[in-house]
């Protein structure tokens, strides 16, 4: 028996299914800073990468694509997408650890955590920390700050604002009170050669972000006590520290904490046996610092070091094969401005990274910047990777460098999508399904979502794009704005652009809206300048404050809308003047998030996402608004192709419904909602923008802050029911989820699915999925049961499983008779209804019925009997009911009913009082209602 317990949560809200969606990225390849790369020492070809805002990745050795291991990070723990440091267990290849948390200031409300995995990152355990972690803070490229003892892999050290010691894999231990600097520990390095297998490694080295006195400390008693190493260099911050078998500790230094700074620095080699420090820097007067440090495990005198930062003309990598006594540069001057290169570089899988506007000596394709992560494969001396501010570069013939032949560098970031997306538009026509603007790399025009575009938006180039829009009736006309004080205009469907004029005083873009016929309204920064209208040049709009979120009507080219504070504004003269038309909406502040959008093809139809204030809708240009019941939080709103049989677009929001955060779709103007993502696909912060595809039903594009452009398509799998409602306003007690099997009609080809509340399919419908009840399809955008076929009706009388035609199995064991109807005799097996075969001797049929004074009669309806001394709450045709452990239970018929036993904690209408919840979601004559433990409760006014 399929038990759909459909409980009403709000009178007009129905979350019917959590649909199965396929989630992917629109291919960009890279796009953000990769501060750490870690090769496993325990297994060949097992490689991880960490990002500052986009989570943790593992390289798929078969496809050579990176796979994100942090898509489970959601709204409530969004900071976990910032990976401050990570390590792979050098003994157990299945274990991996990371310290997560985005900021150490109050931007991130949560403390950090150590996450650990025993299956290479497929699943994680979380150990919360009592302090914050700065995965996107200065110094995030230092490291690694976390390390597993290679001699005893039950010991893990993590260096944050103080060294933290962990034993027994992940258990928090007391603070070690030696270091309290602002950035704290920069690296933790075990000298494995000082110990033996099975025992804690005695000698451990840590770098400290201190440029005034001592920067490197050593413990010779496995971390119990620490001392500064004598005679060490000062004035610089240590970024990386690695030790070799011959007792040499190599340290890279920079005059800043990174990743953007670095105007001086050094490389030192410390002989742990003699105590001697030696400056082995390739340049004695550099204009840069040193960041990434790689040691070849096959030949530990071979080193590669990277600059931090040599912005011009390019980064420099240095290679030594004698422990740093001598160095070879990856490029050298060959008579200024010419340079002699020891490599060839191929950006083809990420062609936008090539900048053809550069002039020599700057190359069109740079080796990178912010190079803090630099690693040689411990199993393969030819393989190297390094992370930059935009991608991962690498080579698989590195040793060509030593022989005088050129080695080959290519992008190795396939699968990494780390952009911070600010706005998305999916036009109804044209060869491009998606245009976007984003942080750091401007934006893109995608004609193929599975292929990286050839070029990002240029001429003009905005480092970060904030807003983009087009004219609904003139679809080749586009406008975008970003970090520059002017507007970008395209009459070529976003393929080519030119700069428009800007009003005086504008510093950067803000939000732009394009009218249906091509007029433009622009709300730039600073906000006190106000809002402007025009095309090629702009004048001040009247009647609307600066910083308002703005959009255009998608039908009437003269109408624009604005939203700021609690007020809705409208212009009917292309933005020349605005009027207040509605107040009392949820308050919002100036910003870039897309909280207001108008519906294509429907004049005056506008939706407002009021964040924690919910979702609002007007169909008369703002004269009146309707609050959409049940939407607790609406961060952003978008539209896509209508469902079959509907003339209204599908709605998409990110927010919270039914106390669940997620991405939701509605096909009926917000009456019913479907969660279309799941807990494994949450993507951190997704509150900025969302849009459906007007040409593909079900497709949705989502802006993320660090996971790139995420898009989803319907997978065809039904998912699982989560909750539901009727429209009568009841809170779900009336049928208690009991199935009305008595109304089922017996026929081998009958509509078995009607017994479960679904019609049978009428036409030729494709099989979508099967379960224990039967085969399911989709018809008119609704689930339907595919009729079961049988050769004759006689099977119902010959002892065969007659109940299968009704969607129920036949009883298999010796099952007691419970009741009969016109179809036959029924029993209970495995807490589900089953049909008793007609030729069987039905056990206790004559003596067992619902009037039995001791039987747990309510089990027949899927509910337990009450176990304790509990008063009844109500009666119906089935018997007496009460509530125990927050669930309905049947009061045994032999029990004396205590009519006065209904305590105050029962609440009203069969629901308990809330034990601690005070948030009101609903009010009726009984009082204020909230939700606790997944069910309604009456708010206790004595505690709230």
- Reported as a single tens digit per residue, the pLDDT across 56-106 is 999 999 999 999 999 999 999 999 999 999 999 999 999 999 999 999 988
Based on the fold, state whether residues 839 and 879 are members of the same structural domain. no
Q: Are residues 606 and 503 in the same domain?
A: yes
Give 458-487 pLDDT, tens digit per residue: 999 999 999 999 999 999 999 999 999 999
CA 765 to chain centre: 35
State yes or no: pLDDT of 616 exceeds 80: yes
Per residue in 85-96, is it b (16+ CB within 10 Å) or e — as a string? bbbbbbbeebbb
Do 484 and 608 have their domain in common? yes
610 shares a domain with 748: no
Instruction: Read off the pLDDT of each residue in 768-781 and give the average, rounded to a whole number.
Output: 73
pLDDT in tens, 495-532: 999 999 889 999 999 999 999 999 999 999 999 999 99
- Give the confidence band of 721 by pLDDT, cuts at 50, 70, 90: very low
Residue range 884-918, pLDDT digits in tens? 765 677 877 654 433 333 333 345 555 677 777 77
Q: What pLDDT shows up at residue 811?
A: 86
* Number of other residues whose CB lies within 10 A of the CB of residue 439: 22
Task: Determine whether 109 is exposed, middle or buried from the number of CB atoms within 10 Å of its CB (0-12, 13-18, 19+).
Answer: exposed
- 196 band by pLDDT with thresholds 50, 70 and 90: very high
What are 322-341's pLDDT values in tens digits?
A: 999 999 999 999 999 999 99
Q: Which helix (H) or strand (E) holds 185?
A: strand 185-190
pLDDT at residue 626, as a whole number: 98
The residue-averaged pLDDT of 488-497 equals: 97
pLDDT band with cut points at 50, 70 and 90 for residue 741: very low
On whether residue 534 sits in a domain, the answer given is yes
pLDDT confidence tier of residue 767, bands split at 50, 70 and 90: confident
Q: Which residue has the higher pLDDT, 685 or 790?
A: 685
Going from the C-alpha of 393 to that of each of 217, 707, 769, 914, the distances in angstroms are 33, 19, 44, 56
- For residue 400, how many other CB atoms are within 10 A of its CB? 15
Strands of the sheet containing 47-50, edge to edge, are 36-39, 47-50, 56-60, 65-68
Residue 884 placed within a domain: yes
pLDDT in tens, 649-662: 999 999 999 999 99
Query: What pLDDT was estimated at residue 922?
Result: 59
Report the C-alpha gap between 920 and 918 in whole angstroms. 6
Q: Residue 832 domain-assigned?
A: yes
Cα-flanking dihedrals φ and ψ of residue 207, to 5°? -95, 145
Tokens of residue 650, six digits: 């599908």
Q: Considering the domain boundaries, does residue 282 fall inside one?
A: no
CA 817, CA 795: separation in Å to the nearest integer? 21
Contacts (Cβ under 8 Å, ≥6 apart) of 912 = 883, 886, 905, 906, 937, 938
Per this entry, what is the length of the chain? 944
**pLDDT higher than threshold 50 for residue 797:** no
Same domain, 747 and 613: no
For residue 161, the model assigns a pLDDT of: 64
Q: Which residue do the tokens 């207001």 mark?
A: 596
Same domain, 527 and 614: yes
Q: How far apart are CA 587 and CA 564, in angstroms?
A: 7
* Encoded tokens for 572: 């009917």
**Pairing state between β 434-438 and 421-425:** antiparallel
Cβ neighbours of 235 (radius 10 Å): 12
Query: Which position among 397, 440, 566, 629 bears the catalytic label?
Result: 440
Query: Range of 590's domain?
Result: 457-618
Task: Write the pLDDT tens digit of every residue in 351-380.
Answer: 999 998 899 999 999 999 999 999 999 999
Tell me if 891 sits within 8 A of 879, measured CB to CB: yes
- How far apart CA 654 and CA 681 sit, in angstroms, is 13
Note whether 890 and 782 are same-domain residues. Answer: no
Distances (CA, A) of 434 to 416, 437, 694, 709, 711: 19, 10, 11, 10, 11
Asked if 38 and 57 count as a contact pair (C-beta separation under 8 A), the reply is no
Q: Which of 629-638, 739-748, 796-805 has the highest mean pLDDT?
A: 629-638
| pLDDT of 178 strictly over 50 | no
Band of the pLDDT at 12, cuts 50, 70, 90?
Answer: very low
Q: Which of 30-34, 686-690, 706-710, 874-878 has the lowest mean pLDDT?
A: 874-878
In a domain? residue 677: no
**Cis preceding linkage at 269, omega within 30:** no
Q: Is 497 a domain residue?
A: yes
pLDDT at site 89: 99
- Looking at 618, 634, 652, the residue that finishes a domain is 618
Give CA–CA dist 486/493, Å, rounded: 19
- Report the pLDDT value the prediction gives residue 171, as an integer from 0 to 100: 33
pLDDT at 4: 24
Which CATH number belongs to the domain containing residue 519 in this structure?
Answer: 2.130.10.10
- pLDDT of 776: 75
Residue with tokens 């953007």: 260
pLDDT value of position 853: 42
Catalytic residue among 52, 191, 469, 667: 52
Active site residue 52: yes
Q: Give the span between the Cα atoms of 355 and 325, in whole angstroms.
A: 36
Active site residue 940: no
Given the structure tokens 């001791």, which residue do they identify?
Answer: 854
- Given 557, 592, 618, the domain boundary residue is 618
**806 and 905 assigned to the same domain:** no
pLDDT confidence of 778, banded at 50, 70, 90? confident
Of the ranges 353-362, 749-758, 847-856, the best mean pLDDT one: 353-362
Do 527 and 471 belong to one domain?
A: yes
* 800 and 921 share one domain: no
User: What is the reported pLDDT for 366?
Assistant: 98
Q: Name the residue among 899, 926, 900 with its Cα closest to residue 913.
A: 926
Task: Please give the pLDDT value at position 285.
Answer: 87
pLDDT number for residue 849: 40
| Residues 385, 373: Cα–Cα separation, whole Å | 8
Does the pLDDT value for residue 799 go beyond 50?
no
Q: State how many domains the chain has.
A: 3
Assigned domain for 929 exists: yes
Whether residue 411 is predicted with pLDDT greater than 60 in this model: the reply is yes
- Average pLDDT value over all residues in the chain: 86
753 — pLDDT class (breaks 50, 70, 90): confident
Higher pLDDT, 194 or 502: 194
Q: Which residue has the higher pLDDT, 879 or 157?
A: 157
Tell me, yes or no, whether 42 lies in a domain.
Answer: no
Q: Are residues 573 and 476 in the same domain?
A: yes
- 839 lies in the same domain as 884: no
pLDDT tens by residue, 224-271: 999 999 999 988 999 999 999 999 999 999 999 999 999 999 999 999
Partners of 86 in the β-ladder: 98
C-alpha angle with apex 215: 209 to 216, nearest 5 degrees?
120
pLDDT given at position 875: 64
Checking if the pLDDT of 568 tops 80, the result is yes
Task: Give pLDDT tens digits for 117-158.
Answer: 999 999 999 999 999 999 999 999 999 999 999 999 999 999
Structure tokens at 637: 């709103």
Model pLDDT, residue 719: 34
Last residue of a domain, which of 816, 849, 882? 849
Q: What kind and span of H or E run contains 403?
A: helix 400-403
């Amino acid at each position: 028996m399929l038990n759909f317990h459909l409980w009403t949560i709000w009178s007009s809200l129905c979350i019917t299914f959590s649909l199965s969606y396929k989630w992917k990225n629109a291919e960009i390849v890279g796009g953000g800073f990769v501060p750490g790369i870690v090769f496993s020492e325990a297994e060949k070809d097992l490689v991880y990468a960490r990002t500052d805002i986009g989570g943790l990745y593992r390289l798929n050795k078969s496809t050579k694509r990176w796979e994100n291991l942090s898509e489970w990070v959601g709204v409530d723990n969004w900071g976990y997408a910032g990976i401050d440091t990570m390590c792979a267990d050098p003994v157990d290849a299945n274990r991996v650890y990371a310290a997560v948390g985005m900021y150490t200031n109050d931007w991130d409300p949560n403390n950090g955590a150590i996450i650990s995995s025993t299956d290479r990152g497929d699943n994680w355990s979380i150990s919360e920390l009592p302090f914050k972690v700065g995965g996107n803070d200065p110094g995030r490229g230092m490291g690694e700050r976390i390390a597993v003892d290679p001699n005893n892999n039950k010991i893990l050290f993590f260096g944050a604002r103080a060294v933290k010691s962990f034993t027994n894999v992940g258990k928090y231990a007391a603070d070690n009170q030696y270091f309290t600097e602002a950035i704290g520990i920069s690296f933790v390095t075990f000298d494995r050669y000082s110990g033996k297998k099975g025992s804690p490694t005695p000698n451990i080295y840590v770098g400290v972000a201190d440029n005034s006195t001592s920067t490197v400390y050593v413990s010779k008693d496995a971390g119990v006590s620490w001392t500064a190493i004598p005679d060490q260099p000062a004035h610089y911050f240590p970024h990386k520290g690695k030790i070799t078998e011959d007792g040499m500790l190599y340290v890279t230094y920079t005059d800043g904490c990174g990743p953007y700074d670095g105007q001086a620095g050094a490389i030192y080699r410390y002989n742990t046996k003699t105590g001697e420090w030696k400056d082995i820097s390739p340049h004695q007067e550099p204009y840069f610092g040193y960041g990434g440090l790689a040691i070849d495990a096959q030949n530990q005198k071979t080193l590669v070091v990277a600059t931090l930062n040599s912005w011009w003309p390019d980064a420099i990598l240095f290679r030594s094969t004698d422990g740093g006594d001598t160095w070879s540069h990856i490029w050298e001057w060959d008579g200024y401005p010419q340079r002699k290169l020891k490599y060839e570089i191929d950006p083809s899988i990420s062609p936008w990274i090539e900048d053809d506007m550069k002039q020599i000596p700057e190359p069109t394709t740079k080796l990178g910047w912010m190079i803090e992560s630099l690693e040689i494969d411990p199993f393969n001396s030819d393989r190297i990777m390094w992370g930059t501010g935009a991608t991962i570069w690498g080579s698989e013939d590195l040793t060509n460098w030593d022989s005088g032949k050129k080695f080959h560098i290519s992008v190795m970031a396939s699968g990494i999508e780390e952009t911070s997306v600010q706005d998305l538009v999916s036009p109804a026509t044209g060869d491009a399904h998606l245009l976007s603007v984003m942080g750091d790399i401007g934006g893109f025009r995608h004609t193929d979502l599975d292929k990286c575009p050839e070029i990002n938006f240029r001429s003009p180039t905005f480092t970060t794009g904030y807003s983009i829009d087009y004219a609904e009736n003139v679809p080749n006309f586009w406008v975008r704005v970003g970090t520059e004080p002017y507007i970008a205009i395209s009459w070529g469907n976003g393929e080519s652009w030119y700069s428009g004029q800007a009003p005086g005083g504008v510093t950067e873009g803000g939000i732009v809206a394009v009218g249906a016929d091509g007029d433009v309204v622009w709300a730039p920064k600073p906000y006190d300048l106000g809002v402007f209208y025009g095309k090629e040049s702009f004048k001040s709009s009247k009647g609307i404050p600066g910083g308002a979120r703005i959009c255009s009507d998608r039908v009437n080219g003269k109408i624009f809308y604005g939203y700021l504070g609690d007020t809705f504004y409208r212009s009917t003269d292309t933005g020349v003047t605005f009027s207040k038309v509605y107040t009392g909406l949820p308050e919002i502040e100036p910003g870039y998030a897309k909280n207001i959008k108008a519906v294509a093809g429907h004049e005056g139809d506008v939706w407002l996402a009021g964040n924690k204030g919910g979702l609002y809708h007007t169909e008369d240009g703002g004269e009146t608004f309707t609050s959409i019941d049940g939407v607790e939080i609406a961060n952003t709103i978008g539209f896509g192709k209508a469902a079959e049989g509907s003339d209204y677009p599908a709605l998409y929001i990110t927010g919270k419904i039914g106390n669940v955060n997620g991405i939701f779709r509605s096909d009926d103007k917000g009456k019913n909602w479907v969660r279309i993502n799941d807990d494994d696909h949450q993507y951190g912060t997704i509150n900025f923008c969302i849009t459906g595809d007007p040409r593909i039903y079900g497709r949705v594009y989502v802006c993320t802050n660090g996971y790139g452009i995420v898009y989803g398509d319907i997978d065809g799998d039904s998912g699982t029911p989560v909750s539901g409602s009727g429209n009568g306003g009841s809170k779900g007690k009336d049928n208690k989820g009991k199935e009305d099997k008595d109304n089922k009609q017996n026929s081998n080809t009958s509509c078995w699915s009607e017994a479960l509340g679904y019609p049978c399919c009428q036409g030729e419908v494709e099989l979508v999925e099967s379960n224990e009840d039967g085969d399911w399809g989709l018809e008119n955008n609704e689930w339907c049961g595919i009729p079961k076929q049988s050769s004759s009706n006689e099977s119902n009388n010959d002892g065969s499983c007659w109940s299968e035609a009704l969607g129920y199995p036949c009883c298999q064991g010796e099952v007691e008779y419970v009741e009969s109807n016109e179809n036959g005799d029924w029993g209970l097996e495995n807490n589900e209804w089953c049909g008793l075969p007609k030729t069987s001797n039905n056990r206790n049929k004559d003596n067992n019925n619902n009037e039995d004074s001791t039987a747990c009669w309510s089990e027949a309806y899927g509910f337990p009997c009450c176990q304790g001394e509990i008063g009844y709450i109500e009666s119906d045709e089935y018997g007496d009911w009460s509530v125990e452990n927050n669930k309905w239970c049947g009061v045994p018929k032999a029990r004396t009913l205590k009519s006065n036993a209904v305590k105050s904690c029962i609440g009203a209408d069969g629901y308990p009082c809330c034990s601690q919840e005070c948030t009101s979601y609903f009010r009726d004559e009984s009082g204020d209602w909230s939700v606790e433990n997944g069910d309604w409760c009456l708010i206790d006014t004595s505690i709230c």
